[in-house]
Amino acid sequence: MTMRALHLTITDGIAEIVFDLPGESVNKISGSVKDEFLALFEQLERDASVRGAILISGKPDSFIAGADIDEFLRWTTPEQAEQASRDGHALLEKLERLRLPVVAAIHGACLGGGLEAVLACAYRIATDHPKTILALPEVQLGIFPGAGGTQRLPRTVGLRAALDMILTGKNVRARKAAQSGLVHELVHPAILRTIALQRAREIADGVRARNPDARTRDAAALFLDDTPVGRSIVLRQAREMTLKKTRGHYPAPLAAIAAVAAGYHDREQGYQEEGRLFGQMAMTSIARELISLFFATTALKKDSGVGDAPVTVRSVEKIGVLGAGFMGAGIAGIAVQQGTLVRLKDADLARVGKGLGAIRELLKDGVTKKRITRAQMNDQLLLAGGTVDYSGFGNVDLVIEAVFEDLYVKHKVMREVEAVLPPHAIVASNTSTIPIARIAAASARPERVVGMHFFSPVHKMPLLEVIVTPQTAREVTATAVAYGKQLGKTVIVVNDAPGFYVNRILSPYLNEAGRLLDGGAAVDAVDRALLDFGFPVGPITLLDEVGLDIAGKSGAIFVEAFGDRLAPSETLRRVVESGRLGRKGRKGFYLYDGDGKKGGVDDTVYAFTPSGARRAEVTIDEVQRRCILAMVNEAARCLEEGIVRSPRDGDVGAVFGIGFPPFRGGPFRYMDAVGAGRVVEELEQLNARFSGRYAPAEMLVHMARKGERFYSNRGRPA
């Protein structure tokens, strides 16, 4: 057959297989690629002159990115997904049992099916390079490794290390992979091919063993990984921790544990269980929602933010950051990690020093966790400089303003900084609620003003909202979007309005949680109900985390813009007025120790509620309906008003910005799952009880009448 993705050369009895999928930036394993591999294995098996082989990527910085996820959408039954798993088993069983040894030469990302493939190889060599990572991220799509990964990985790295990889989907860097036995050898990228060819010859000549066990194990590891009693302890703890973490919302991790366990009883039974359970997981609604998010974020990576028409995107080599506080230092910290020169300004040297110290601590954490070396940390620290004036701002490409959330202060720094900036420079505000047009009113060049709303903590939160006004130049938008992606963020573009999109939909959700407290609900009961719905933290905890002072200022802006519909609760207003700050002040709705660690509910906070210390029983359903419907209705209003460009952007913004449960897909996919008619019906019921707060968005009413959806049945925008 004609090979499109695989290229074969044979020299002195050693075959070099180069995987280079045409027309793609990364290698993916599809049905046609599997057929090519099977045909190639048959050819090599028949050719007695070939004694060994290496598998190497033709892509510059990627080995194999995993399976072609597009093919997952073609499955309509568990049996079809199970058959795909069985096909993967057959392919990798063939690879593992080949007469000739195959050495995997890994540089760049080796993910999912790619890692499952190299586990079937006779030897694994990886480059000691930051871009070389190995992972099984399938759990993030609501499934688990289905091509033998639950069977081969535990035998390779041990049960505990295998479960850690399978259940978290986390990346394993090359050095850690070598320590665990996941790879046998690390080399410099320049000699990867040479060493791989040499190892293939050595294994073929019998001077080096096939797939040697490269683990270093102590007595505890031998007991926990290699004895029935030890394994039962590990598996039981894994189930308990998984249930505690997922609250039962994600079935795939538990299915993966079951598949791993089956393999210890009987090898063939393990493969059978992996295939059967993979088929079941692939057809769950959870997997469909998570796969839809995967496609949404993939599409956003290619989205310029300004449509398909050509646009100039300026390179951002140096930025200025105004404000060295928590957000400003956080933005500067991720910028230096991407090689950007940063000039950090604040009003006095103490604040500047504290900001630079925060950058250092962020980078030190990277060294501790072995993401970067100490030499890299020192190089990145050299990129950050501090100042109390505007020296060094004369040649910046972008200024990000992260000063106090006060319009007067923002206008003042806008005028000051524009006086020293070069003509091409962009000024971006990191405000969380103040409309960008109001900030740009102080600018001499409002067409070069944009919003770049980062989320806290900056180094952990993946979302960036780029906010544009009618005056913002297309080049400015596209440059802000491109730089956001350079910083590793998932970027959505939204139109200017109070609160923009993410905080706008968060406001009614938090307000309703507060009104439940007004009515007598317990703080922890409200939080538990929304944790049970799937949020990572409850709304009252979130208020404490954000800061009650900030919540109070945001609330005032929303009331000014939208009136009583988005007015904060009486309880929240009173707590804010009392001076409580939340976690940062060690006093909020919850108690905090000296290190800011959360304890139990501060019962004295009930004195601020209209109902006093007496608490009333409120059902979980009541809490969830009131909070969630308030949020999704506001999301529909934002789409209706053109604040958010599409349901896709709205779903990504909610999931990555405020932790809307990923397995529910986002507000718009959630409304599709419930049905517009049912959503409108429930909103009208609530609006009859709480007049004005739950009036359904006109868009939803129209969709309910027409039986329409936000997405087509295939998961694409309708």
Q: Which residues form the catalytic set?
A: 465
- Provide CB contacts within 8 A for 595, sequence distance 6+: none
The residue ranges of DSSP E strands in 1-99, in sequence order, are 6-11, 14-19, 52-57, 62-64
713 Cβ contact list (under 8 Å, min separation 6):
none
Helix (H/G/I), strand (E/B), else coil: 133: strand
HEC string for 143-155: CCCCCCHHHHHHH
**Total residues belonging to the chain:** 718
DSSP 644: B
Element (H, E) at 451: strand 449-454
In one-letter notation, the amino acid at residue 109 is A
Tell me how far apart the alpha carbons of residues 29 and 118 are, in angstroms, rounded to a whole number. 13
CB 529 within 8 A of CB 494: no
Of 423, 467, 466, 478, nearest in space to 445 by CA:
423
715 and 288 in contact (C-beta within 8 Å)?
yes
What residue has token string 């999931």?
A: 655
Segment holding 691, helix H or strand E: none
Beta-bridge mates of residue 111: 135
3-state DSSP call for residue 285? Answer: helix
Q: CA 589 to CA 604: how far, in whole Å?
A: 9
* Paired sense of beta strands 426-429 and 398-401, if any: parallel
- For residues 501 and 504, what is the distance between their CA atoms, to the nearest angstrom? 5
Distance between CA atoms of 229 and 693, rounded to whole angstroms? 57
Give the span between the Cα atoms of 58 and 299, in whole angstroms: 24
φ, ψ for residue 392, nearest 5 deg: 90, -5
Is the separation of the CB atoms in 111 and 138 below 8 Å?
A: no
Give the single-character DSSP code of 583.
G
Conformation bin of residue 441: beta by default, left when phi > 0, alpha when psi is -120 to 50:
alpha
CA distance 341 to 326: 19
Which residues sit opposite 644 in a β-bridge?
494
Count Cα neighbours of 355 within 13 Å in the Cβ-side half-sphere: 32
- The torsion defined by the Cα of 150, 133, 659 and 489, in degrees rounded to 10, comes to -160
Grouping H, G, I as helix, E, B as strand and the rest as coil, residue 467 is strand
Q: Angle of helix 228-246 relative to helix 159-168, nearest 10 degrees?
A: 20
Six token digits for residue 619 = 């059902």
CA distance 245 to 163: 14
d(CA 113, CA 104): 14
List, in sequence order, every residue forming a beta bridge with 384; answer none if it has no partner.
342
Cis amide bond preceding 457, omega within 30: yes
